[in-house]
Structure 1
Amino acid sequence: KIAAAKYFLIVGIESAIDLCNHVISKNRLRPPEDYADTFLVMMEEDFFPEKFTEKLMQMARFRNRLVHIYWKIDVDLLYTILQEDLSDFNRFLTLLSKKLDT
């Protein structure tokens, strides 16, 4: 179950990054330097507020840990993220769609 939770979290984070990269490319915004910077580029274009962007950037960094040093992931931290932070995906989609609809 833990491996599945890690996998689905990776997929969710990568999907958010991919959506942002599509918007960045389509609108010819500055290319991000890394996954975390993808969200910073979007903030610079007023897609996301600064505080929420910080959470998204942490999410991207956590994705890197899940992918590259998965054996060192604290299971308690993973559980906390799954319990407290999954709503960030809904907020991400809401903010993105509102900005794209304008």
Structure 2
Amino acid sequence: MTKEEFLSDRRNPPFVECYLRRGLEAVFDIGRHILAKVSGFKEIEHKTIAKELGKKGVITEELSETLYMMAGYRNRMVHFYKEIAPEELYQIITNHLDDLERFNREIVTFMKEYKKKTGG
């Protein structure tokens, strides 16, 4: 979809914002659950979860930094939603969705290794 097509339908930006926020919240819920399981981690702040995932080796440090920025963006969507521009959302969905796919791959890799180490 071109930028013009995206912006021409007023429904697109709110749909993208809603599903992007939900996706990011799922990322941090998954991260929180894994950290609780492997190290008793109980933090709920998204930026802290992002950092701990990298420190504990669940994901790479590089992805940890990306998630840290995503946590800030998620907070902007929730608390400063009027500041989110449709053009910004288009840029994210065309240039940064691979970050979520990378998170999925790294989590799957971690879970397979964790299962081997713990036997289940």
Aligned with 1:12 (options 10, 14, 23)? 23
Question: What is the identity percentage for the equivalent residue pairs of Structure 1 and Structure 2?
Answer: 25
Letter in 1 for 2:57: D
| 2:98 is the alignment partner of 1:94 | no
Letter in 2 for 1:88: D
Aligned with 1:40 (options 31, 37, 51)? 51
Alpha-carbon deviation of 1:33?
A: 5.9
SS in 1 for 2:39: coil
Asked whether the equivalents of residues 29 and 41 of structure 1 are also in contact (C-alpha less than 8 Å), the reply is no
Asked whether the equivalents of residues 32 and 41 of structure 1 are also in contact (C-alpha less than 8 Å), the reply is no
Bigger CA radius of gyration: 2
- Aligned pairs for 1:22-61 (under 5 A) are 22-32=33-43, 34-61=45-72
| 2:21 is the alignment partner of 1:3 | no
Q: How many residues align?
A: 102
SS in 2 for 1:66: helix
Alpha-carbon deviation of 1:75?
A: 2.1
Alpha-carbon deviation of 1:18?
A: 0.4
| TM-score normalised by L of structure 1 | 0.92
| TM-score normalised by L of structure 2 | 0.79
Letter in 2 for 1:5: V
* Counterpart in the other structure of 2:7: none
| Structure 1 residues 6 and 57: CA distance shift in structure 2, 3 A | same
Q: Distance in 2 between matches of 1:64 and 1:94?
A: 24
